[in-house]
Amino acid sequence: MRVPFESRSELGLLLRVAHRRAAKEASEALSPLGIEARHLGVLLVLDARGKLSQTQLVDALGADKSGMVRTIDDLERIGAAVRQPDPGDRRARLVELTGTGRELLRSARAAADEVAGRLFGSIPDTDYEVVRRVLAAIAALPSGS
The CATH number of residue 97's host domain is 1.10.10.10
In a domain, residue 50? The reply is: yes
Question: For position 9, what pLDDT does the model report?
Answer: 78
Question: For position 145, what pLDDT does the model report?
Answer: 56
In a domain, residue 24? The reply is: yes
In a domain, residue 78? The reply is: yes
In a domain, residue 143? The reply is: no
Strand-pairing partners, residue 94, are: 53, 84
State the total domains in the chain. 1
> Where in the sequence is the domain holding 64, given as residue range(s)?
9-117
In a domain, residue 144? The reply is: no
In a domain, residue 19? The reply is: yes
76-119 per-position pLDDT tens digit: 999 999 999 999 888 889 999 999 999 999 999 999 999 999 99
Spatial distance between the Cα atoms of 34 and 31, rounded to a whole number of angstroms: 5
Strand-pairing partners, residue 86, are: 89
In a domain, residue 31? The reply is: yes
In a domain, residue 124? The reply is: no
**C-alpha 98, offset from chain centre:** 18
Task: Give alpha helix (H) positions in the chain.
Answer: 11-30, 37-49, 54-61, 65-77, 99-120, 125-140
Its pTM stands at: 0.85
